[in-house]
Amino acid sequence: MTALEKEPTTPAQGEPLVVLSDVQKWYGDLHVLKDINLTVHRGEVVVVIGPSGSGKSTLCRTINRLETIGEGSIQLDGKPLPEEGKALANLRAEVGMVFQSFNLFAHKTILENVTLGPIKVRGVKKADADAKAQELLDRVGVGHQAAKYPAQLSGGQQQRVAIARALAMEPKVMLFDEPTSALDPEMISEVLDVMVTLAKGGMTMVVVTHEMGFARTAADRVVFMADGQIVEENTPEEFFTNPQSPRAQDFLGKILKH
Amino acid sequence: MEAITTDFDLYLKGFGLTVGLFVASGIASLVFGALLAAARVGPISVLAKASAAYVTLFRNTPLLMIFIFIAIAMPRIGFTFNFVEEIRVGDWNISGFFFRACLALTLYTSAFVCEAFRSGINAVPIGQAEAARALGLTFGQNMTNIVMPQALRAVVPPLTSVQIALAKNTSVAAAFGIAEATATMRLLGNRYGDQTVEIFFFIAVGYIIIVEIVALGSYALERRWKAAAR
Ligand SMILES: Nc1ncnc2c1ncn2[C@@H]1O[C@H](COP(=O)(O)OP(=O)(O)OP(=O)(O)O)[C@@H](O)[C@H]1O
Ligand SMILES: [Mg+2]
């Protein structure tokens, strides 16, 4: 999987790329995001972890405005997220998203899944988009499946295509919402390998996952959420070996038992 | 037999009009119904509400009433739509009657087409549209590239039923001075009182042929799409 690694770009830890300030969100009466302050720096990999219903997906989805927020602000690369229209579409093009359920376009071939965004959103010529897509599919190891339809691929292969589809837009940041939770155990590592390589290659990533192996190898920081709040933030090593809050200790106690 | 053989040109003319009404209103209702469905699921709430109100109004009103409104009430208040008679293609032109019938059929059928499309759109998993949004596709691109093509597959059977109903609903136009197939049946029945059964039989066969063509086309589409994906 070394093919995914880019030229060792300067590990530009530094400038803030995604900045959430005092973000609040409600679903009706349910307060799902409470006082969220989170800054993701360029090149940083942040793993978000926490119990079911704690708001991890919602947090992820607010960053490309698939969900709107009630209060506060979110900035990408120094600019507040646009409200709607063409500007919002352009923002989304800059933020790659990988879903738990892959969500490949069922009526399009693997190659078309990857070229659709570049052609329709970026206006890339078909021949160029095809070449780039083929290269990306080769990199994630599904190049020979390009002509098939999503339903003909295994879950692990579909998720790697979904990653290639997001990468084809050359996003500034990639969001992953439990990318391996829907996969059979034997397929998890093939997807995580791709993600680790991406991380090492300098991609800015926000990853909701319970895969501790991934967090330890690839994450710069772990963010622990509970009840819509960020309860604890730390390096993976510190967080897993020495959690500070009772909520995190309790949570880790539960997942480590398995 | 002689009712059909001697006046075969009448028979053909009648069905020509029936087919004309069907094809014109069929295409117009598919286009208008798809637009209504897009408005219904779209992000602009005024349009969504207007579309819902339209469907409620036209789906719950008997077709005959819509015909009476368009063909009788509207001309009384000055909307004859006779300007369409000015449109000439060669020596052929549309009659005001024909246009009003198409209008009534289209307004009525579009409500059903909209509901068929809406059920098809709802059959497309939400993640499909979401993934497209996440890539940066606009609402329009999302509808035309992702949602509608998949909705179409789910929508062929209900749309076929709607269009078959339309083919038969064209007969309502008989009551409004259009000599389509059903009006022709009545005319021939008056002329050849002793052959009503044969006349009825031949007219029925004509409708069956039209409906079967629609049904066969629909099966062919279904088969092709099944072969194309998965
Ligand atoms: N569309 C919605 N409408 C109403 N409530 C919602 C909606 N989506 C999520 N919620 C609620 O918001 C809370 C946070 O949900 P979210 O999906 O962000 O949690 P999560 O941390 O991702 O959980 P999981 O680990 O199960 O994926 C939950 O209580 C959930 O029931
Ligand atoms: Mg979730």
Q: Render pLDDT for B36-45 as a digit per residue (tens, 0 to 9).
A: 999 998 888 9
Residue A39 to chain B, least CA–CA distance (Å): 21
Over 50: is that where the pLDDT of A6 sits?
Answer: no
- Give the phi and the psi of residue A129 in degrees, each rounded to 5: -65, -40
Place of tokens 């000599």: B179
pLDDT band per the 50, 70, 90 thresholds, residue B88: low
CA A8 to chain CA mean position, Å: 21
Ligand 1 centre to CA of A207 (Å) is: 16
Residue A1 to chain B, least CA–CA distance (Å): 25
As to burial, measured by CB atoms within 10 angstroms (0-12 exposed, 13-18 middle, 19+ buried), residue A143 is: middle
Q: Which residue lies with its CA nearest to atom 14 of ligand 1?
A: A55
| Token output for B200 | 């009825």
pLDDT band per the 50, 70, 90 thresholds, residue B59: very high
Instruction: Find the residues whose C-beta lies inside 6 A of ligand 1.
Output: A 27, 30, 32, 50, 52-58
Q: Which ligand 1 atom lies nearest to the CA of residue A61? A: 18
> pLDDT by residue (tens digit) across B111-149?
999 999 999 888 899 999 999 999 999 988 998 999 988
Place of tokens 């279904």: B222
Of residues B54 and B223, more confidence is placed in B54
Q: Which of A94-98, B73-77, B91-95, B165-169 has the lowest mean pLDDT?
A: B91-95
Q: Determine whether the interchain pair B137/A89 forms a contact, defined as Cβ–Cβ distance below 8 Å.
A: yes
> pLDDT by residue (tens digit) across B199-208?
788 888 888 8
> pLDDT by residue (tens digit) across A177-190?
999 999 888 889 99
Place of tokens 């062929």: B156
- Overall average pLDDT of the B96-114 stretch: 91
Contact B111, A86 (CB under 8 A): no
> pLDDT by residue (tens digit) across A192-247?
999 999 999 999 999 999 898 899 999 999 999 999 999 999 999 999 999 999 99
Residue of chain B nearest A101, judged by CA positions:
B127
DSSP B24: H
Q: What is the mean pLDDT of chain A?
A: 90
Whose atoms come closest to the Cα of A66: which ligand?
1
* CA-only gyration radius of chain A, Å: 18
Q: Which residue lies with its CA nearest to atom 30 of ligand 1?
A: A53
Q: Which residue lies with its CA nearest to atom 26 of ligand 1?
A: A52
Q: Which domains does chain B have, with CATH numbers?
A: 2-229 (1.10.3720.10)
From A92, A58, A83, A110, select the one nearest A174 (Cα to Cα): A92
Q: State the pLDDT at residue A12.
A: 47
- Overall average pLDDT of the A107-114 stretch: 95
Q: Determine whether the interchain pair B128/A116 forms a contact, defined as Cβ–Cβ distance below 8 Å.
A: no
Q: Is the pTM of this model over 0.80?
A: no
Q: Which of A90-94, B98-102, B187-191 has the lowest mean pLDDT?
A: B187-191
Ligand 1 centre to CA of A12 (Å) is: 33
Q: State the pLDDT at residue A13.
A: 60
